[in-house]
Amino acid sequence: MRLVFMGPPGVGKGTQAERVTTHFKIVHLSTGEILREEINTNTRLGREAKAFMNDGQLVPDDLLLEKMNNRLRQDDCMEGYLLDGFPRTLPQAQGLDSILEDLNQSLDRAVNLTADNDELIRRLVLRGQKSGRDDDSPDVIRKRQQVYRDQTAPLIDYYRRQQILTEVNGIGKISEITDRIIRSLT
């Protein structure tokens, strides 16, 4: 199974992605995690990505596409994967489509997790207090939400037009949301 996971910052994408990949025994590819790892190991990509991330901006498309083009060709991806936080822009979605075409693969579903804005801010502020992530401060959170609305939300229509969009309510108990997602995919 090949999935894309979408949703605004704070909707619980990462948590649900982890649970859904365990259920379906597929690889969880979080570009946020991948980029944080590149920063920690001080690679060229990490050095280039860091300032954008700390500022709540998106890392440039060509960097993400180069990284994912390599990553999706690795053996562990052949049985399926869940893309968490990628694509985040229209050019990334188009780039992903051409990587997939090259690999003779296609996406099964794009899951969009939804929640209202007040709930999202509440969750992000809580996460910021716990995680110590540099990009979970209130100012950067607001910027990431704006970036989401401008650049990522249009992907919902992109996948709706491809007829692979599934919308799932992201409010409720963690286990209930996981059940909703799994039910929507089987």
Q: Known catalytic residues?
A: 13, 88, 127, 133, 144
Our CB check for ligand AMP shows the closer of 100 and 179 to be 100
Q: What is the C-alpha separation between 89 and 149, in angstroms, rounded?
A: 11
Q: What is the C-alpha separation between 127 and 121, in angstroms, rounded?
A: 10
Site for ligand AMP in 49-88 (CB under 6 A): 52-53, 56-59, 64, 85-88
Q: What is the C-alpha separation between 15 and 12, in angstroms, rounded?
A: 5
Contact call for residue 144 and ligand AMP (CB under 6 A) = yes
CB of 143 to ligand AMP, least distance (A): 9
Our CB check for ligand AMP shows the closer of 88 and 180 to be 88
Site for ligand AMP in 10-39 (CB under 6 A): 31-32, 35
Contact call for residue 135 and ligand AMP (CB under 6 A) = yes
CB of 157 to ligand AMP, least distance (A): 18
CB of 141 to ligand AMP, least distance (A): 10
Nearest residue to ligand AMP, by Cβ distance, number only: 32
Q: Binding-site residue total for ligand AMP (CB under 6 A)?
A: 18
Our CB check for ligand AMP shows the closer of 17 and 165 to be 17
Interacting residues with ligand AMP (CB under 6 A): 9, 31-32, 35, 52-53, 56-59, 64, 85-88, 92, 135, 144
